[in-house]
């Protein structure tokens, strides 16, 4: 065989195997097989969801896009530290999961994902307003919202009934009264007012808003020091003493789960992780009468205050990092993961603990499985405010959130260290420095 | 040069000794000293001096995560100084360091005196005593956190079942209690270091001195105060200074045990600097907060160096 003939034959062969082979095999060409995407996320409170990422998403995305997915999970409280060190060193995960409004804090280090957000929004009925607020800086999407963990009150139906409360309280005053009776029966309400990322601020911010208090006005002036805020702190201080497990001052996001599941508390603001754990362990978690605990759990929204009813649900967002050498692969992965057929695999194992970021997911058949989970379905749609209200949830709002200013404001009065007026003045001082 | 001359003298007559240029170079004491010091200096420059200089630069800028930052002079220091959380953290750091050091010294001395006696299984007990110091701080602090847990504390459980308490003790949910809990854990962890170092010091004291004092009618306390303590003072001072430096810049213990809570009441300077610089991404402000530790630690080190110099001269 002459050299020319050989080249012709092998060239044609490679071309044939190449293009047709790729099309036939439905897989990426060999040169893309080496692309890997490192994603950093939290240790999901529903461990089965992390299993989906590792055991379903990873092999499937390798097959579909030729991307090797490396999933790393750590404690959610430690993610900001990892993000900061990765950004400063210019080296680290290609995608980092960021909570709440942290995308605003790291916006300078983000890759624009507006194209993905627009596609997903259009295809899935529109992304929730709160998710838009938390992930858009100006008109640009700096992170792609992934899910929302609604915060609702999980409570023991039978214990409330035994205390003479037939229907879950609609107002803070009613909840206070109910809590007083429950604590007298050694079944207090459990709530963290500690320095922790989720359950504390998702309780304290809506409480503040429902009494008419807010951090700043629309012009950015700090207006937290108001009679409304003082009233909310005064209410909480009394509510704490009368109705709560006072150990909650030192709780993190997992303490209330353990306390509820072991029958120490009657109600707590939480994602659905308590119920999901009870559902997964009917023999492990039981009522004092021996029935599976999940049969005695219901969910309700936070009560209304004099100025309305509010909620804050924890947002989970993915940022593609600017320092990443695999930006395209990272974006391709996100686009792939957000398609209905792929996202659904992760969404269904959550059983409602995490919900979708677009309205179409409210229509999913999963919601027909369990009426106890129904309050979670539309919860994100009812979220009308974010931190830093009435301003944007920007860097300064993220700083106030990270310093736990609002939570500490309530905690300092609840533990008796400061009077309500004093702690509100303290919060005004701290916010004043942040918004200066 | 003398060595070279010696070698030449040891050579057979007429034999020529070849000394390489390197050997000749290293025979120069200045060159040798520089060569021996260079790796250490390089490590110090890379891992101590460079981050320190960077921290000073960061503290003078408004750098936040992902941005370059501009020079702002001492604005970050001024902001920290007027920050009530920082003021609490600074006071906590002094309080925590003082009491933890007092307890570690007292218990460490007591333990060292006990371990200096002869008894069965002496070696084994000395080794076991080091366990709190050997176990990684994060791991042991997690265990303590469980023991102080607001809901499931084994200490509360025990006291309740013994009938000594009717309500749970607020180990970590009350700021004052939480600070004392942190001091207790630090003491538990640091006492072996004091004990083993003081024990080493005790063993250098000639037993004849005690015997002579006893013959002169000195009781146990007098022997300790007039013989042991003065001779142990140099070792004690060195160990106290090391401990103060470590305790003042402590981070892991508070981070794991309380996270600075409740209501920021147990923050130390190091944990607050971490919260601001790393968690909130305000690197300039975080660096300024952490640099407030520098003057205090500098004075402690200066004191130690001056003392050691005086001891050398004595």
What confidence tens digit (pLDDT) does each residue in A287-320 have?
A: 999 999 999 999 999 999 999 999 999 999 999 9
Residues of chain B neighbouring A247 (CB-CB closer than 8 A)? 150-151, 168, 170, 172-173
Q: How do strand A68-74 and strand A136-137 relate by DSSP bridges?
A: unpaired
What residues have CB less than 8 Å from A419, skipping those under 6 apart?
A413
pLDDT for position B157: 92
**pLDDT tier, A17 (very low <50, low <70, confident <90, very high otherwise):** very low
- Number of C-alpha atoms within 13 angstroms, CB side, residue B237? 16
Confidence of residue A31 (pLDDT cuts 50, 70, 90): very low
Mean pLDDT of B82-93: 94
Instruction: Using an 8 Å CB-CB cutoff, list chain A residues near B274.
Output: 81
Long-range contacts at B299-305 (CB < 8 A, ≥ 24 apart): B300/B241, B300/B244, B300/B245, B300/B248, B301/B241, B301/B245, B303/B241, B304/B237, B304/B238, B304/B241
User: Mean pLDDT throughout B58-80?
Assistant: 93
- CA torsion sign for A107, A431, B174, A262 is negative
> pLDDT for B239-279, tens place per residue?
999 999 999 999 999 999 999 989 999 999 999 999 999 88
For residue A236, list chain B residues with Cβ-Cβ distance below 8 A.
Answer: none
The C-alpha atoms of residue A27 and residue B15 are separated, in whole angstroms, by: 78
B1 — pLDDT class (breaks 50, 70, 90): very low
List the one residue out of A247, A274, A236, A238 whose CA is nearest residue A258: A274
DSSP B92: H
Is the pLDDT assigned to residue A154 strictly greater than 60?
A: yes
Q: Sign (positive/negative) of CA torsion A220, A224, A225, A231?
A: positive
Share of chain B above pLDDT 70, in %: 94
**% of chain A with per-residue pLDDT over 90:** 83
B252 near A CB under 8 A: no
Instruction: Give residue B125's pLDDT.
Output: 87
Residue B12 confidence (pLDDT): 64
pLDDT in tens, A373-427: 999 999 998 888 999 999 999 989 988 988 899 999 999 999 999 999 999 999 9
Nearest to A201 by CA among A211, A216, A191, A210: A191
Q: A–B: how many Cβ contacts below 8 A?
A: 119
Average pLDDT, stretch A44-67? 94
- A417 and B260 within 8 Å at the Cβ level: the answer is no
- Per CATH, A29-150+314-377 and A152-312+380-434 having the same topology is answered yes
Q: Which residues contact A395 (CB under 8 A, 6 or more apart)?
A: A104, A105, A107, B64
**Best residue of A76, A90, A247 to probe chain B, by most B CBs closer than 10 Å:** A247
Q: Are the beta carbons of A39 and A97 closer than 8 angstroms?
A: yes
A175-187 residue pLDDT tens: 999 999 999 999 9
The pLDDT of residue A161: 97
Residue A234 has a pLDDT of: 98
Spatial separation of the C-alpha atoms in residues B56 and B294, rounded to whole Å: 11
DSSP 8-state symbol, B67: S
Tokens 């003065």 sit on residue = B230
Q: Mutate which of B173, B178, B180, B285 to disrupt the A interface (most A C-beta within 10 Å)?
A: B173
Q: B172 near B150, Cβ under 8 Å?
A: yes
For residue range B205-230, what is the model confidence (pLDDT) as tens digits?
A: 988 998 898 888 888 899 989 889 98
pLDDT band at B8, cuts 50/70/90?
very low
Dist. CA B151–CA A192, nearest whole Å: 12
Class of domain A29-150+314-377: alpha beta
User: Which two structure tokens, joined as six digits, stand for A53?
Assistant: 């990422």
**Chain B residue closest in CA terms to A87:** B66
Give residue B123's pLDDT band: very low, low, confident or very high (50, 70, 90).
Answer: confident
Looking at residue A353, its pLDDT comes to 92
B287: chain A residues, CB-CB within 8 Å: none
CATH superfamily, domain at B81-313: MetI-like (1.10.3720.10)
Report domain extents, chain B. Answer: 1-47, 81-313
State which residue of chain A sits closest to B150, comparing Cα positions.
A247
Task: Select the residue of A106, A108, A195 nearest B261 (Cβ to Cβ).
Answer: A195
Domain ranges of chain A: 29-150+314-377, 152-312+380-434
Across the interface, whether the CB atoms of A194 and B280 are under 8 A apart is answered no
**B42 contact A CB<8A:** no
B281 Cβ under 8 Å from any chain A Cβ: yes
CATH number, domain A152-312+380-434: 3.40.190.10
């Amino acid at each position: 065989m002459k050299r020319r003939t050989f080249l012709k034959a092998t060239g044609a062969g490679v071309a044939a195997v190449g293009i047709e082979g790729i099309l036939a095999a439905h897989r990426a060409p060999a040169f893309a097989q080496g692309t890997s995407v490192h994603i950093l996320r939290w240790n999901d409170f529903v461990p089965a969801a992390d299993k989906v990422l590792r055991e379903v998403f990873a092999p499937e995305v390798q097959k579909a896009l030729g991307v090797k997915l490396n999933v790393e999970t750590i404690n959610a409280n430690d993610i900001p530290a990892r993000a900061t060190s990765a950004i400063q060193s210019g080296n680290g995960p290609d995608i980092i999961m960021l909570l709440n409004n942290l995308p605003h804090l790291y916006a300078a280090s983000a890759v624009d994902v507006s194209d993905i957000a627009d596609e997903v929004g259009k295809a899935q009925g529109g992304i929730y307003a709160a998710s838009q607020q938390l992930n858009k800086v100006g008109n640009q999407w700096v992170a792609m919202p992934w899910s929302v963990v609604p915060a609702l009150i999980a409570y023991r139906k039978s214990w409330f009934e035994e205390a003479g409360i037939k229907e879950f309280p609609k107002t803070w005053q009613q909840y206070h009264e109910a809590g007083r009776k429950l604590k007298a029966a050694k079944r207090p309400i459990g709530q963290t007012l500690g320095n922790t990322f989720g359950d504390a601020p998702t309780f304290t911010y809506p409480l503040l808003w429902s009494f008419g208090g807010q951090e700043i006005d629309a012009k950015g002036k700090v207006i937290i020091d108001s009679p409304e805020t003082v009233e909310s702190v005064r209410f909480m201080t009394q509510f704490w003493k009368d109705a709560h497990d006072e150990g909650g001052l030192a709780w993190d996001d997992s303490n209330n789960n353990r306390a509820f599941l072991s029958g120490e508390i009657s109600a707590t603001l939480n994602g659905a992780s308590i119920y999901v754990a009870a559902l997964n362990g009917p023999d492990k978690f039981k009522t004092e009468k021996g029935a599976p605990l999940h049969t005695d759990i219901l969910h309700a929204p936070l009560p209304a205050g004099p100025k309305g009813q509010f909620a804050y649900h924890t947002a989970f967002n993915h940022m593609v990092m600017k320092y990443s050498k695999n930006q395209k692969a990272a974006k391709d992965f996100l686009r792939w993961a957000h398609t209905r057929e792929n996202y659904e695999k992760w969404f269904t194992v959550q059983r409602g603990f995490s919900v979708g970021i677009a309205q179409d997911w409210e229509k999913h058949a999963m919601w027909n499985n369990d009426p106890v989970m129904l309050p979670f379905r539309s919860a994100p749609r009812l979220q009308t405010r974010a931190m830093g209200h009435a301003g944007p949830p920007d860097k300064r709002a993220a700083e106030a959130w990270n310093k736990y200013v609002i939570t500490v404001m309530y905690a300092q009065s609840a533990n008796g260290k400061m009077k309500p007026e004093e702690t509100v003045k303290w919060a005004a001082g701290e916010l004043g420095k942040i918004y200066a | 040069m003398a060595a070279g001359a010696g070698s030449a003298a040891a050579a057979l007559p007429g034999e020529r000794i070849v000394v390489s240029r390197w050997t000749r170079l290293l025979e120069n004491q200045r060159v040798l000293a520089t060569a021996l010091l260079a790796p250490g200096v390089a490590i110090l420059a890379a891992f101590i001096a460079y981050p320190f200089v960077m921290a000073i630069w960061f503290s003078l800028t408004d750098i936040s995560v992902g941005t370059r930052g501009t020079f702002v002079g001492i604005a970050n220091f001024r902001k920290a100084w007027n920050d009530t959380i920082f003021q609490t953290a600074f006071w906590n750091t002094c309080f925590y360091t003082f009491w933890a050091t007092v307890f570690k010294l007292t218990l460490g001395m007591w333990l060292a005196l006990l371990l200096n006696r002869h008894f069965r299984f002496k070696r084994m007990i000395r080794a076991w005593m080091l366990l709190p110091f050997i176990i990684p701080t994060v791991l042991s602090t997690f265990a303590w956190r469980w023991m102080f847990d607001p809901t499931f504390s084994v200490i509360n459980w025990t006291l309740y079942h013994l009938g000594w308490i009717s309500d749970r003790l607020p180990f970590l949910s009350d700021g004052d209690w939480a600070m004392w809990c942190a001091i207790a854990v630090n003491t538990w962890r640091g006492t072996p270091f004091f004990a083993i170092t003081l024990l080493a010091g005790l063993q250098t004291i000639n037993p004849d001195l005690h015997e002579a004092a006893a013959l002169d009618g000195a009781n146990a306390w007098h022997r300790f105060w007039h013989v042991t303590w003065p001779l142990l003072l140099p070792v004690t001072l060195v160990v106290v200074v090391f401990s103060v430096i470590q305790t003042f810049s402590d981070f892991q213990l508070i981070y794991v045990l309380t996270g600075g809570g409740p209501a920021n009441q147990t923050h130390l300077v190091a944990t607050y600097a971490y919260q601001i610089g790393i968690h909130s991404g305000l690197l300039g402000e975080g660096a300024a907060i952490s640099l407030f530790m520098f003057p205090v630690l500098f004075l402690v080190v200066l004191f130690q160096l001056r003392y050691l110099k005086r001891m050398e001269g004595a």
